[in-house]
Amino acid sequence: MTCLFNSRTSTPLLPAAVALLAVFALTGCDRDEIKVYRVAKEPPAAAPSPAGLPEGHPEIPRRKPQLSWTLPAGWTEAAAGQMSLATFNIAGQDGQQAQVAVTPLRGLSGKEALIVNMWRKSAGQAELSPEEVTSQLQAVDIGGEVGKMFDVTSATDSAKRPTRIVTAMVHRPDASWFFKLAGDQELVEAQKPAFVTFLKSVKITEAPATETTTTEAPVAAKTSKTQWKTPTDWKSVAPGVMQVAKFTVPEKDSTAAEVTVSIFSTDTGGTLENVTRWRNQIGLPPATESDLPQLVKPLDGKNPDALLVDMTNGNRRVVGAIVTRDGQWFFFKLLGGTAAVAAQQEAFVAFVKSPM
């Protein structure tokens, strides 16, 4: 028996983001039966041109994918996230939890080193050389196609349970498809065989040519460097992936810090996801919704949507701000040693509040 679900079309999002879909399990379907979902998304009104096309070139319509799988025992379907087409929850013993997410993105084929190191950095691990990345990748069967798989364990406080992320990816003409198993380390280890079996069951096919989609890989908005009014002792350096600006600040007590700025056309997953990303970067465990009132404070009374986050873990500290301006989300981050961050906090907040 096959269960079919046609999702509603979504509102335009960040070119990187997959539409926010609510995936509901239909009644009358057994746990291990195949479920088929069709991705529906309206083309963004002002999305950037696809990779490889000149700026201003109209997007080439692409057919929406049809995804099917066999659901392993013990997995439950959940509402898809802002960056995923499908999400599954897994509950283990003693409160252990894990989640599987499926996300297709265009423009990432051949960028394994970038992909692996982005995950490692978010987990608080050191980056690897391209050669080291190659040695970390394992071949895996994803719906009859040869994919690649790697895993990362988050650096975390010894009092907390370590988390682990197993990511599988396959590059197809329509997109690069990412399958992520993440959660408590012991549960992820126990579920890895089921995850591999799930990958084998996945089938990705194209829907009729009349239905199209235009999902893009994440692209930060472009901005002119002359717009930034920074303290005189900040030094501008080349921005990293998905950043529009980056600055180093003076060292303090032999500790260093840096300021980064990213701009997107959506909130990239919401306050909780962004706070958790920043926590990962200083080795703290993920936050929960109940943690947010203690972690997030108003930045400026003139802009009630502007938020400030300040978190410390040992000798590492991050001060982050999320500000909406003219329909865009600005993400500011001051990250580094506690002494260097403390010395620059006042200047950082003034920089965030300054007109662009």
Give the gyration radius of the chain's Cα atoms: 21
pTM exceeding the 0.85 threshold for the entire prediction: no
DSSP summary character for residue 45: T
- Shortest CA distance to 241 belongs to which of 334, 335, 111, 52? 111
* pLDDT confidence of residue 206: 66
* pLDDT confidence of residue 81: 61
Cβ neighbors of 159 (< 8 A, separation 6 or more) are none
Q: How far apart are CA 228 and CA 332, in angstroms?
A: 12
Q: What are the structural domains of the chain?
A: 3-213 (3.40.1000.10), 225-353 (3.40.1000)
Residue pair 287/163 in contact by the 8 Å Cβ criterion: no
Q: How far apart are CA 84 and CA 92, in angstroms?
A: 23
* pLDDT confidence of residue 73: 92
* pLDDT confidence of residue 105: 84
Angstrom distances, CA of residue 39 to CA of 27, 216, 280, 327: 20, 14, 31, 26
Residue pair 232/210 in contact by the 8 Å Cβ criterion: no
Q: How far apart are CA 251 and CA 138, in angstroms?
A: 40
Please list the ranges in the chain whose pLDDT falls under 50: 1-62, 209-219, 222-226
Angstrom distances, CA of residue 334 to CA of 154, 283, 308, 325: 21, 15, 11, 20
* pLDDT confidence of residue 296: 93
And the tokens for 24?
A: 């509901």
* pLDDT confidence of residue 134: 92
Q: How far apart are CA 191 and CA 165, in angstroms?
A: 12
Residue pair 163/153 in contact by the 8 Å Cβ criterion: yes
* pLDDT confidence of residue 23: 26
- Shortest CA distance to 204 belongs to which of 19, 64, 330? 64
Q: How far apart are CA 219 and CA 350, in angstroms?
A: 27
The β-bridge relationship of strands 97-105 and 176-184 is: antiparallel
The β-bridge relationship of strands 97-105 and 328-337 is: unpaired
The β-bridge relationship of strands 257-264 and 245-248 is: antiparallel
Cβ neighbors of 189 (< 8 A, separation 6 or more) are 164
Angstrom distances, CA of residue 223 to CA of 151, 227, 243, 245, 277: 35, 8, 10, 9, 24
Cβ neighbors of 310 (< 8 A, separation 6 or more) are 297, 317, 318, 319, 320, 345
Q: How large is the angle between the packed helices 112-122 and 271-281, nearest 10 degrees?
A: 90
